[in-house]
Structure 1
Amino acid sequence: MNKAIFLDRDGVLNKERKDYVKTVQELELFANIETCISKIKKNSFLAIVITNQSAVNRGLTSHKNINEIHDYIQNYLKKFNTKIDAFYYCPHQPNENCDCRKPKIKLIEQAALDFKIDLSKSWMIGDHQKDFDAGKTAGCKSIKISHSSELDIVLDKIFLKS
């Protein structure tokens, strides 16, 4: 079985915008994400993004734009010989009551099936309580961070424990 670090996207890998990250042009990656993703991979964890992207169903962006944003992140990371193993996103608005919008856990469960992940040996890292709650409900250890610079520090603590 594999181990994973599940990461929220906005506020963890890139700057969060009040009006959503709708296009590649609006994406502002945090300075240290290549170091953090490399650290995850070097410690034999999968790096998987689990993100709510309600801007899609709000009509503010498209699935195509979300996929272009994820491709851009991958191409950026490729320059540093690292990558995110997969991106899973929920396009639904909170009032749609779907099973995939965090804090619900359908996307984490799907990733666990797709990659044969042992959730009890995995972590969820996010900047909102719903990220923390999703990880806990799925059976992962969860950590809530409040600033992008914390990701590197949190990863060091995780890898000291593993």
Structure 2
Amino acid sequence: MRPNKAVFLDRDGVLNKELGDYVCSAGDFEVLEHNFAPLKQLQDRGYLLIVITNQGGIAKGWYSEKDLSEMHDKLRAVYSANGITLTEIYYCRHHPQYNGNCLCRKPGSIMLEKAAARFGAEPSRSYFIGDRERDVLAGEAAGMTGILIDSDQPIGEVLHLIA
């Protein structure tokens, strides 16, 4: 059986609108519709789509696990309604000011490595798209190609970088 390939995606500024600090509720959660077509294209090309996100607002007490679950339910529902399956969403709930250093927070690569192992995604055939340098560093540390975009930039503008 041939190993899977995946496109790992940061959340804020990649899949939903970047609000500057934290998106704290499903009501403030605005999905970036310009990414429906390129993500559908990647999925149709055989890529798993897996979300990897730091959510330090939980550690800060700005929103709860329940709030985060509601945001992720909305994200999945909107993408699903457009024919796109998000295979899984991994998140780090820690923040260095509140929890010290953890292994899961990007630029650490643990969430990427766990997801790749769980879904049989070959790192050398996988990519991580993010809007922060820490996303690219995490992807590269996990053996993937990191792709840096601007916040809210259409993913379609970088599709040519994905084989």
TM-score by length of 2: 0.92
Say whether residues 1:152 and 2:160 are aligned partners: no
The Cα of 1:62 is off from its aligned counterpart by 1.0
State the Cα deviation string for residues 6-48 of structure 1 (Å, max 9, x = none): 1100011111123311110011111212212211211100000
Contact 2:31–2:78 (Cα < 8 Å) also in 1: no
What is the RMSD computed on CA atoms of the aligned residues?
A: 1.2
Structure 1 partner of 2:87: 85
Q: Deviation digits for residues 93-114 of structure 1, max 9, x if unmatched?
A: 0242000000001100110111
Q: Secondary structure at the match of 1:104?
A: coil
Query: Per-residue deviation at 1:147?
Result: 4.1
1:72 paired with 2:74, answer yes
**1:102 pairs with 2:106:** yes
Provide the residue aligned with 1:9 in structure 2: 11
- Please, which runs of 5 or more residues in structure 2 have no aligned partner? none
Q: Structure 2 counterpart of 1:88, which letter? A: Y
Rounded Cα–Cα distance in structure 2 between residues aligned with 1:83 and 1:138? 23
CA contact (8 A) 1:37 1:84 kept: no
SS at match of 1:41: helix
1:39 to 30, 38, 41: 41
Spell out structure 1 runs of 4+ moving beyond 3 A: none
1:119 — aligned with what? 123
In the alignment, is residue 142 of structure 1 matched against residue 126 of structure 2?
Answer: no
| d(CA) in 1 for partners of 2:68, 2:35 | 19
Going from structure 1 to structure 2, the CA distance change for 1:150 and 1:33 (only over 3 Å counts) comes to closer
| Aligned counterpart in structure 2 of residue 131 of structure 1, from 135, 149, 157 | 135
Separation in 2 of the partners of 1:92 and 1:114?
A: 22
Change (3 A) 1:60 1:147: closer
